[in-house]
C-alpha cells in the first residue's frame, strides 16, 4: 500500500470513528483500531421502550374487509403476509413476496385502486379506504384470468417465486394497454425481476393473454 | 431390456406439457418456506459482522433479551474468536414480530478489535499482504500442476501463438427466496422443518446428526422452492440457529436471510483469472497450451475452473491455485467452473483463429472431437445466419455496430443411484407417485407425472405427485449436477411398470386372458391378441376391492446416460458512443438426452442463457478495499438481467438419444464466450474481463484509436 493510500485509509477510519461518537454509542475502542458498533442501541431504545404506538385500521383486500392493528412503520406487505386481524386470524395472503426489500424487484407487486404498487414500499396506514388487489384476487373464483391461463400454457415460470408479481404487473399492463407490442411488454414488466430466466415465455404469455382479453 | 421406447410410440414423453404446479404458482397459492405461517410462530433474525476481519472482544446480549417481545437471543460466535468476513454471524434473536427482531439486533452490544483485511485477489497476492488463513503460506493455496505431452516442443512448432489474461469476477446466486427455514418441534424428540433447500434428505440427515435425533424423527418439507442454483444444500448456520431458538422458546420460528445476507454469506461463484498462452499450426490444429490461473472462493478454497475446455490440446501445462480474501465462501453455482473456463477458452479460440486468418467456427470444427457439437455448429450457424458475420471484426459502419460470436460447453449429468420411489394405484382409480426429491423450479414433479401417466395410459394431471417431503421415508439425492431427472426418472418408470404389472394380474381373470397378453391403452387395458376385449381404467382398478397396489422402483442403467454437448451463437449490437452492448439474439443448441418434457426443457435452456448473459454483461460482486465491505449487496446495484436485457432466444432441444441425461446447468455455459466473441466481432477490440460493461467498451475503443 502506498503512503498516500495508507493516509486515505486512516482518514476513513477516523471519520468513521467520529461518526460513531456522533450518534452517542456506548461502545469503547478497545485498541488502536476503532471498535465497531454493529447495532445502534439508543435508536432502538427510542423506538421500542415503553408502549409501541399502534392503531386499528380497516383494509379492503380482495373485496374483503380486514380490521388490523398496525404500527406506523408496518408496511402493506407485512400486513398481507404476516398480519393477524383483530379476530386473531392470519391474513395469510402470501402470494406477494418480499425479495429485495427496497422497491426494486417487483416481487411484492399488488394493485391499489387498480394501480401497480410495491407493497414493501407502502405503509399499511396509507392504504386505508383503497381497493387492494393481490395475486390471490386476480382470478374470479375458480376461473383463472387470461394472464394466469397463458402463464401456465407457456410455462412462464420456473421456481415461481417472482410469478405472483409478474401476474399482477401483466394484468395491470393489459388493463391499460390491450394490445402491447413486445417493447411495451418489456417496458410494462421492467419493474419485475426473475432469476430463473423465464422472461421469453412471460413475453409470449402476455401476448397470448392480450389476444384473449 | 428397459427402454423409453420410440419417439413415435410416446404419447406424452418428449411432448410440451404444462407444469402441474402452474395453477398454484399463478394464483399465489403455492407455499414456499418463506410463506409458511405456523400458530404462535416467532420471527428470527441474525446479527452479522459489518467488518471484514476482527477479534470479538465483548458480546453482551442482555439488553436485547430484555426488550419486550424478544423470546430468545443466542450467540453465534464466542468472545475471543475471529470474524473473517462481512456478514459472518454474531448472534441470533427470536421475537414476536419481525420488526421487534430487527429492533433487538440493534440492542446487542459487540466490541471488536479490527484486524487487517484483504478483499480483492490483487491485494491478497500483493507482497506484504496480511495473511488471513493460518493454514496457507501467504494467501495462496499450494498450486495444482498438471502437464501432458511436450509443451515447449509444441510451442516451437506452432505457427501462431496467443498470450492473454482473462478474468471473470465473483458472481452471486441471487436466489429470489433467500435461504431459510421454518422450524417446529412437535415434541422434544420430533422436529419438522420447512426448508428452502435443494436437498430435502440432505438437510434431514444434517439436522438429525447435529441434534442427535433419529433421522426418521426429523421431517423436512420443501413443497416449493424459490431458486437455489447450487447454493442450498445444507441447513447452514441460519438453520441450526433456528432449530436452537425454537427448542429454547418451545415455539415455531421462521428465520429467513435478508437480501443483503444472501449476497454476503449464501455462496457465490468464485472469480477466475488466467494467464494463458496457446499455439496452433498453420492448418488450424491447437497443439500447445500453457495456463497459470487462480480464483477466489472467499475465505475458503474451491475456486476451480476448467482449462483448457471443450477443445482438445495434446500438449498442455496448467498451474492453478486458490486465493483467500476476507469475503463469504463460494458454493457450487450452476455448472461450477465451466462458464468461466468456457469464456476464457472461447475467447482464446477466437484470438487464435483471427491470427490464423481462419473463420472461428472452422477453427473449432478442426479441434472439437464431439460429433454432437459438430452437428450443433451446423444447425446453430444456420439459425443465426453466420454468413452475415463481419469477416473483418469491427468493419461495420455507423455508431451501432453488430457482430456475431460462438461458444461451446459440455456437462455430465446422467443421474445416479440412491432414489427410492413408490407408485400407488388405488381402487378408485387414483394414482399417486411419491419420492423424496424436490422441485426446485425445474419441473421434476411434472416429469414424474408424465412418466407414470405414459406407463399407465393416463393424463399427467391424473397423477398425484408427492415430492419435497422426507416424511414418507423415500430418499432421493440433492438436486445438483443436473442429476435430478436422470436419477429419479428410471426409478419412477420401473415403479410405474411394476404397478402396472400388478394391476394386470388383477385384471387378467376379468378379461380371461394371460397377464402377458394385456396392454395399456389410453384410459383402458386391452388384450393384445383380441383388441375387442377391453376394460376401462376405472373398471380395472375396481378389481382391487379394498386393496391398493403400491410398488417401488429401481435404478436402471439402461434408462440413463451421462454427457451432454451444447453450443450457442450470439448476435450483438454495440453502441460505440455509449459503450452499451445489446444482445439481439442467442441461438442455443443444447443436447440433453431424452427431454421428457420439452416445454420445461426449453424453459431451462432459456434460463441458462439468461444467467450466462448476466455473467457476460452485468453481474459482479464489488468489494471495497477501503472498508472490506461489498458495495452492491442488494438488487439495485447488483445487476441481474431484467426485461430490457432479454434478446430473442432460440432454444433448440437437440435430440441425440433416448436416455435421460439432464439439462439444468449446461445451457448457462457457452453464452459468455459467444457474447464476448460477438462484441469483438462487432467492434474489433477484445474485452478479456467480464462483465462487459460500457466503461470497458469505451476504454477499449479509445485504446484502439490511440
pLDDT of residue A4: 47
Which pLDDT score is estimated for A28? 33
Cβ–Cβ under 8 Å, residues B468 and B443: no
Q: What is the pLDDT of residue B361?
A: 98
Whether omega for the bond prior to residue B607 falls within 30 degrees of 0, making it cis, is no
Q: How far from B184 is each of B92, B380, B478, B653, CA to CA, in Å?
A: 17, 52, 23, 43
- Given an 8 Å threshold on Cβ–Cβ distance, is A97 in contact with B114? no
- Does residue A8 carry a pLDDT above 60? no
* Nearest CA-CA partner of B203 in B184, B217, B219, B227: B219
Chain B CB contacts of A90 below 8 Å? 37
**What integer is the mean pLDDT of A31-56?**
54
Which pLDDT does position A30 carry in this prediction? 34
The C-alpha atoms of residue B480 and residue B596 are separated, in whole angstroms, by 18
All cell numbers assigned to B81: 474468536
Give every residue of chain B whose pLDDT is below 50, as ranges: none
* Residue from B111, B128, B623 nearest B327 by CA: B623
* B21 touches A at CB < 8 Å: yes
Which run of H or E residues covers position B268? Answer: strand B268-269
Nearest CA-CA distance, residue B244 and chain A, Å = 23
Q: Is B500 exposed, middle or buried (0-12, 13-18, 19+ CB in 10 A)?
A: buried
Task: Note whether A140 contacts B: Cβ–Cβ < 8 A.
Answer: no
Cβ of A138 within 8 Å of Cβ of B27? The answer is yes
Global ipTM: 0.97
Q: Are strands B42-48 and B524-527 parallel, antiparallel or unpaired?
A: unpaired
Taking CB atoms and an 8 Å cut-off, how many pairs form between chains A and B? 239
Contact B635 A40 (CB under 8 A): no
Task: Residue count of chain B, please give it.
Answer: 706
Q: Which residue of A has its CA nearest to B667?
A: A197
The predicted pLDDT at position B137 comes to: 86
Q: Does A183 touch chain B (CB under 8 A)?
A: no
The C-alpha cell that represents B299 in the structure block: 475465505
- Mutate which: A48, A75, A167, A185, vs B, most B CBs within 10 A: A48
pLDDT, residue A51, reads 57
Assess B77–A contact: CB distance below 8 Å, yes or no.
no
- Beta-sheet strands, E only, within B10-123: 42-48, 54-60, 70-75, 82-83, 89-95, 109-114
Shortest CA distance from A37: residue in chain B: B110
B282 is written with which cell numbers? 498453420
**Beta-carbon separation of A105 and B635 below 8 A:** yes
| CB contact (8 A) between residue A26 and residue B109 | yes
Q: Do B28 and A81 touch (CB under 8 A)?
A: no
Cβ-Cβ contacts under 8 Å, A93 against chain B: 28
- The residues, ordered by sequence, that sit 6+ positions from B419 with a Cβ below 8 Å of its Cβ are B435, B436, B437, B474, B475, B476, B477, B487, B488, B491, B555
Smallest CA–CA distance, residue A3 to chain B, in Å, is 14
Q: Would the CB atoms of A193 and B113 count as touching at under 8 Å?
A: no
Yes or no: say if A134 and A167 are a contact pair by the CB < 8 Å rule. Answer: no
Q: What backbone torsions phi and psi does residue B97 show, to the nearest 5 degrees? A: -130, 160
Question: In Å, how far is B229's CA from the nearest CA of chain A?
Answer: 9
Closest CA in chain A for residue B603: A198
Residue of B nearest to A140 (CA): B27
Spatial distance between the Cα atoms of A13 and A24, rounded to a whole number of angstroms: 17
- Chain A CB contacts of B106 below 8 Å: 39-41, 43-44
Residue B268: alpha-carbon gap to chain centroid: 11
Contact between residue B336 and residue B664 where contact means Cβ atoms under 8 Å apart: no
Scan for cell 423436512, then name that residue: B220
Alpha-carbon torsion B656, B660, B663, B669, what sign?
Answer: negative
Confidence band of A34 (pLDDT split at 50, 70, 90):
very low
- For residue A35, the model assigns a pLDDT of 42
Nearest C-alpha in B relative to A10: B626
B340 inside 8 A of chain A by CB:
no
Q: Which domains does chain B have, with CATH numbers?
A: 7-27+415-559 (3.30.365.10), 33-115+179-256 (3.90.1170.50), 268-413+561-705 (3.30.365.10)
A108 to chain B, any CB pair closer than 8 A? The answer is no
Distance in angstroms (rounded) separating the CA atoms of residues B586 and B678? 11
Residue A53 confidence (pLDDT): 85
B interface test, pick of A101, A161, A192, A203 with most B CB neighbours within 10 Å: A161
Q: Give the gap in angstroms from C-alpha A117 to the nearest C-alpha of chain B.
A: 17
- The Cβ of residue B162 has, within 10 Å, a number of other Cβ atoms equal to 20
Q: Report pTM.
A: 0.94
- Nearest Cα residue to B675 out of B339, B314, B285, B241: B339
Q: What is the mean pLDDT of residues A32-48?
A: 45
Instruction: Tell me which residue in B27, B99, B611 faces A136 most closely, judged by beta carbons.
Output: B27
Q: According to the model, what pLDDT value does residue B706 have?
A: 82
**Distance in angstroms (rounded) separating the CA atoms of residues B365 and B386:** 14
For B625, the closest chain A residue by CA position comes to: A9
Amino acid at each position: 500500500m502506498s503512503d498516500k493510500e495508507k493516509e486515505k485509509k486512516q482518514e476513513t477510519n477516523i471519520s468513521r470513528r467520529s461518526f460513531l461518537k456522533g450518534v452517542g454509542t456506548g461502545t469503547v475502542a478497545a485498541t488502536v483500531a476503532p471498535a465497531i458498533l454493529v447495532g445502534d442501541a439508543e435508536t432502538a431504545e427510542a423506538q421500542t421502550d415503553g408502549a409501541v404506538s399502534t392503531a386499528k385500521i380497516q383494509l379492503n383486500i380482495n373485496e374483503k374487509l380486514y380490521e388490523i392493528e398496525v404500527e406506523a412503520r408496518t408496511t402493506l406487505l407485512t400486513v398481507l403476509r404476516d398480519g393477524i386481524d383483530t379476530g386473531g386470524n392470519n391474513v395469510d395472503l402470501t402470494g406477494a413476496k418480499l425479495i429485495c426489500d427496497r422497491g426494486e424487484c417487483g416481487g411484492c407487486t399488488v394493485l391499489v385502486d387498480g394501480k401497480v404498487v410495491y407493497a414493501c414500499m407502502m405503509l399499511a396506514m396509507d392504504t386505508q379506504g383503497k381497493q387492494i388487489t393481490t395475486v390471490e384476487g386476480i382470478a374470479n373464483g375458480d376461473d383463472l384470468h387470461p394472464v394466469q391461463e397463458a402463464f401456465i400454457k407457456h410455462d412462464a415460470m420456473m421456481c415461481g417465486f417472482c410469478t405472483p408479481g409478474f401476474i399482477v404487473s401483466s394484468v395491470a399492463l393489459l388493463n391499460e394497454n390491450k394490445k402491447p407490442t413486445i417493447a411495451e411488454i418489456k417496458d410494462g414488466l421492467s419493474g419485475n425481476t426473475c432469476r430463473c430466466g423465464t422472461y421469453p415465455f412471460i413475453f409470449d404469455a402476455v401476448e397470448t393473454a392480450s389476444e384473449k382479453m | 431390456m428397459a427402454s423409453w421406447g420410440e419417439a413415435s410410440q410416446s404419447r406424452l414423453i418428449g411432448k410440451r406439457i404444462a407444469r402441474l404446479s402452474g395453477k398454484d404458482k399463478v394464483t399465489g397459492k403455492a407455499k414456499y418456506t418463506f410463506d409458511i405461517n405456523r400458530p404462535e410462530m416467532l420471527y428470527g433474525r441474525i446479527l452479522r459482522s459489518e467488518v471484514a476481519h476482527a477479534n470479538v472482544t465483548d458480546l453482551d446480549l442482555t439488553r436485547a433479551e430484555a426488550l419486550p417481545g424478544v423470546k430468545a437471543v443466542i450467540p453465534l460466535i464466542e468472545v475471543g474468536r475471529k470474524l473473517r468476513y462481512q456478514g459472518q454471524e454474531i448472534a441470533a434473536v427470536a421475537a414476536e414480530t419481525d420488526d421487534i427482531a430487527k429492533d433487538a439486533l440493534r440492542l446487542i452490544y459487540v466490541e471488536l478489535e479490527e484486524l487487517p483485511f484483504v478483499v480483492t485477489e490483487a491485494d491478497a497476492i500483493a507482497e506484504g499482504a496480511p495473511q488471513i488463513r493460518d493454514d496457507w503460506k501467504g494467501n495462496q493455496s499450494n498450486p495444482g500442476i498438471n502437464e501432458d505431452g511436450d509443451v515447449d516442443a509444441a510451442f516451437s512448432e506452432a505457427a501462431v501463438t496467443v498470450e492473454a489474461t482473462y478474468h471473470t469476477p465473483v458472481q452471486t446466486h441471487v436466489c429470489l427466496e433467500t435461504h431459510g427455514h421454518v422450524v417446529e418441534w412437535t415434541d422434544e424428540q420430533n422436529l419438522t422443518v420447512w426448508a428452502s433447500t435443494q436437498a430435502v434428505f440432505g438437510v434431514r440427515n444434517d439436522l438429525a446428526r447435529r441434534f442427535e435425533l433419529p433421522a426418521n424423527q426429523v421431517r423436512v418439507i420443501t413443497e416449493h422452492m424459490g431458486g437455489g442454483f447450487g447454493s442450498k444444500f445444507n441447513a447452514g448456520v441460519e438453520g441450526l440457529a433456528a432449530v436452537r431458538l425454537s427448542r429454547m422458546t418451545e415455539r415455531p420460528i421462521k428465520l429467513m436471510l435478508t437480501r443483503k445476507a444472501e449476497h454476503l454469506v449464501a455462496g457465490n461463484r468464485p472469480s477466475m483469472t488466467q494467464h494463458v498462452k496457446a499455439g496452433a499450426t498453420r492448418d488450424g490444429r491447437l497443439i500447445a497450451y500453457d495456463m497459470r490461473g487462480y480464483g477466489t472462493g472467499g475465505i475458503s478454497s474451491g475456486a476451480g475452473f476448467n482449462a483448457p475446455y471443450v477443445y482438445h490440446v495434446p500438449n498442455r501445462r496448467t498451474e492453478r491455485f486458490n486465493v483467500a480474501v476476507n469475503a463469504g465462501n463460494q458454493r457450487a453455482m450452476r455448472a461450477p467452473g465451466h462458464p468461466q473456463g468456457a469464456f476464457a477458452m472461447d475467447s482464446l479460440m477466437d484470438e487464435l483463429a483471427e491470427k490464423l486468418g481462419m473463420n472461428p467456427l472452422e477453427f473449432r470444427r478442426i479441434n472439437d472431437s464431439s460429433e454432437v457439437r459438430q452437428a450443433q455448429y451446423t444447425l446453430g450457424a444456420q439459425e443465426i445466419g453466420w454468413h452475415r458475420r463481419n469477416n473483418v471484426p469491427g468493419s461495420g459502419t455507423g455508431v451501432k455496430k453488430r457482430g456475431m460470436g460462438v461458444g461451446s460447453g459440455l456437462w455430465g449429468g446422467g443421474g445416479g443411484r440412491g432414489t427410492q420411489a413408490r407408485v400407488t394405484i388405488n381402487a378408485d382409480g387414483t394414482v399417486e407417485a411419491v419420492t423424496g426429491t424436490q422441485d426446485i423450479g425445474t419441473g421434476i414433479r411434472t416429469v414424474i407425472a408424465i412418466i407414470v401417466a405414459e406407463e399407465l395410459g393416463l393424463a399427467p394431471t391424473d397423477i398425484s405427485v408427492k415430492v419435497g417431503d422426507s416424511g414418507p421415508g423415500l430418499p432421493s439425492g440433492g438436486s445438483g449436477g443436473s442429476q435430478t431427472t436422470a436419477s429419479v426418472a428410471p426409478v419412477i418408470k420401473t415403479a410405474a411398470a411394476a404397478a402396472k404389472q400388478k394391476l394386470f394380474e388383477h385384471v387378467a381373470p376379468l378379461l380371461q386372458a394371460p397377464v402377458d397378453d394385456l396392454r395399456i391403452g389410453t384410459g383402458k387395458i386391452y388384450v393384445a391378441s383380441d383388441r375387442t376385449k377391453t376394460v376401462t381404467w376405472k373398471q380395472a382398478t375396481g378389481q382391487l376391492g379394498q386393496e391398493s397396489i403400491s410398488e417401488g422402483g429401481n435404478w436402471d442403467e439402461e434408462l440413463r446416460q451421462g454427457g451432454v454437448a451444447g453450443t450457442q451463437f450470439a448476435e450483438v449490437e454495440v453502441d460505440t458512443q455509449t459503450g452499451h452492448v445489446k444482445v439481439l439474439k442467442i441461438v442455443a443448441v443444447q443436447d440433453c438426452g431424452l427431454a421428457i418434457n420439452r416445454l420445461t426443457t426449453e424453459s431451462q435452456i432459456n434460463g441458462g442463457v439468461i444467467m450466462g448473459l448476466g455473467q457476460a454483461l452485468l453481474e459482479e460482486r464489488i468489494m471495497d478495499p477501503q472498508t472490506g465491505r461489498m458495495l452492491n449487496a442488494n438488487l439495485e446495484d447488483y445487476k441481474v438481467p431484467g426485461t430490457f436485457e432479454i434478446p430473442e432466444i432460440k432454444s433448440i432441444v437437440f435430440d441425440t438419444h433416448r436416455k435421460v441425461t439432464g439439462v439444468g446447468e449446461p445451457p448457462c455455459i457457452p453464452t459468455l464466450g459467444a457474447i464476448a466473441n460477438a462484441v469483438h466481432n462487432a467492434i474489433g477490440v477484445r474485452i478479456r474481463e467480464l462483465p462487459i460493461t460500457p466503461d470497458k467498451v469505451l476504454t477499449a475503443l479509445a485504446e484502439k484509436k490511440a
